[in-house]
Structure 1
């Protein structure tokens, strides 16, 4: 038999260690720059190699005496300041989406905790079935976060969600397209039932409904981020400019750098393509990539918080 308390404590310790280790790794400067797991290097390496090879070809042609490949007239073909501003705008826009997603999830977690506490403390459970309904409602609150995570990732019902949803609801949940909204409906239906049976007064009903509305608003905000990507025209034009800029560099510097030209061009293309790739990496923060939000950890913390709350006696709070 598993000891749930020990499992919970291990999860808490593990989460604490993971957070501590993450901050410690980020403070270790030399170790961080050599870390490839969350780096954009694997994604941009083919483009950097392409630019290196092209620059090597230009250097070879120049070494053969074909001086026409040195074209000073290409200086300023793609103004550096213009490309820089476009890249900065691209990265800032992507980070705004990432940070907005984090704020929405923080609000969702905070509101879920408040809603669970409100239900557990406020709604009386004089009969065993009343306590059972409250436990079911609290699990549905945790299920809402898990269902939101799966919805944003376009994933189907998994074991994590099955463990939180009452068995009698599973078939209906699997049949609907928007599972978080279905869970929100079940919670609202529970509030209405408690109000109709006199275990909630109107002010409590309004407060519970307002908290549930905030959770649904957070879901809508995440959907807005997910379904409103950066306009394709902007992305295409930025990539075209970045590639044109990097491929024009060898013509501009080969007469001065000669065989050093490929290395110089590689360095510049690494910087340009790297900044552009960062924007791509973080613009959708809800996936499974290393740079995405830790939604699995957030949902696990949410479940632990609700489990701890259910271990408390409302009469002694």
Structure 2
């Protein structure tokens, strides 16, 4: 985007303001000004992002995530498919349907009556309820904890960016240009840290990703050195992909496969990026551009907090529910589901078949949801949209760097600033010509006027106000 001719020719030192930005629609071959995101997506570069699923008719693609939080669906929840675990329920429900049909047919067509007391249903149901509740609550706790860590990353990233941009000064001359470019580079490293952490949580080694390569390729890291030795990701065959779509465990690949097959050490890219950020903070402290001790401590503390986020999300990822619990809960659930036809046939007869299917959908479905959200950093529909979080952090940093650090005199000393609004619509310049006593009296008047408005909006019922009682007492005294 280019400023107007008057701005570019008459005053080369003037910074383009947001209100001065003009967007012209593109006509034919003329290209409109582009945002940073459109530079990547429409300017000949490809940015890594989730596949668009909401408008797709491909069912396999429709159940790929994470879900795009910016999309809105008007369908009621019980009719929605996007985000449902139904694909992973197809095979278990087919097994339950065949099993319940077999037992019902045997009981109806032969003299063998396959039934047990309904008391077993009650006892097992209580145990299954406890097991599934434990599994779901522990999985959701991991999900919310992962979201809290990414919220903390957003907070610390914004705070560190603001500290660098506002409080790190820029020297005169060529050194000032170097200072400005160094500040922008450091803030790009914050985005690179979030992006590298996302790929690390998804077991994606190396740096060859469209959303990260240009941000970290110039850094001397283990990941860059090992890039040529890392096996390239292979697309699954149709049978294997269909098995993964249905949730068949035998078709699922080891997510750490590429990491294990690397012939060189991969290091820890997010941690190495933090090392470079720490080195930058140390340099601006040494050269005096970040001279105030409070801001120095704030910058160093922010890097420590980013390290805490990295360790925290890795703890969530590397500490799943103990395998003994997972095995026991799965076995208990399937024993209960398989025992349903024996207990329901005597009362429901042929309705036992759909009854068992519905019961299995509820029980196994809740267990499947717990398994899906147990790792909140993956690519399931219900996992956290990490791409959206990284894009949001990058956009926030772009907003911070879009203008030089604001000076209070520029945005305060203007008549558009009405410090006494709504009591007065006079601007700052008008009030600056009055004394401090007049300004303080006006502030007190604002408070009294606010109380008067509140009393008029909420009159006391059945009793007189304090002012009325006081006035009545004065009248009687006279």
TM-score, normalized by the shorter chain, greater than 0.5: yes
* Partner deviation per Cα, 1:45-85 (whole Å, 9 max, x = no partner): 21111111111111111112333312227724852112111
TM (normalized to structure 1)? 0.89
Distance 1:6 1:234 in 2: 47
Query: 1-side partners of 2:125 and 2:223: how far apart?
Result: 53
Corresponding residue of 2:197: 148
- Unpaired stretches in structure 2, ≥5 consecutive residues: 1-30, 42-67, 226-265, 409-478
Q: State how far apart, in whole Å, the 2-side matches of 1:116 and 1:302 are.
A: 10
Q: 1:293 to 1:197 in 2, by over 3 A?
A: same
Question: Once superposed, which parts of structure 1, at least 4 consecutive aligned residues long, lie more than 6 Å away?
Answer: none
Deviations 1:189-212 (A, max 9, x none): 011111122222333222101011
Compute the RMSD of aligned alpha carbons.
2.3
Aligned residues: 305
8 Å contact 1:8–1:304 — kept in the other structure? no
Contact persistence 2:333–2:363 (CA under 8 A): yes
CA contact (8 A) 2:121 2:343 kept: no
Structure 1 CA distance for aligned equivalents of residues 222 and 325 of structure 2? 42
1:160 to 211, 217, 221: 211
> In the alignment, is the contact (CA less than 8 A) between 1:62 and 1:69 conserved in 2?
yes
Cα-to-partner distance string for 1:216-265 (whole Å, 9 max, x where unaligned): 10111100000000011111111111111111111112122221111111
Query: Structure 1 residues 91-100 or 192-201, which shifts more?
Result: 192-201
1:120 corresponding residue in structure 2? 165
In structure 2, distance between residues paired with 1:125 and 1:8: 30
- Residue 42 (1) aligns with residue 51 (2): no
- Once the 2 structures are TM-superposed, how far is the Cα of residue 116 of structure 1 from its aligned partner? 0.3
State the match for 1:67 in structure 2: 112
More helix by percentage = 1
Tell me the residue number matched to 1:14: none
Partner of 1:242: 333
Alpha-carbon distance in structure 2 between the residues aligned to 1:315 and 1:304: 19
Q: Specify the alignment match of 1:110 in structure 2.
A: 155
* Aligned counterpart, 2:391: 300
Deviates more, 1:175-184 or 1:67-76: 67-76
**3-state SS of 1:163 partner:** helix
Comparing both chains, which one has the higher relative contact order based on Cα–Cα distances under 8 Å and sequence gaps of 6 or more? 1
CA distance in 2 between partners of 1:20 and 1:301 (Å): 12
Query: In structure 1, how many angstroms separate the alpha carbons of the residues matched to 2:271 and 2:33?
Result: 33
- Structure 1 residues 315 and 21: alpha-carbon distance in aligned structure 2, compared to 1, 3 A threshold: closer
Q: Please tell me whether Structure 1 or Structure 2 has the larger radius of gyration of its CA atoms.
A: 2
CA positional deviation for 1:123: 0.8
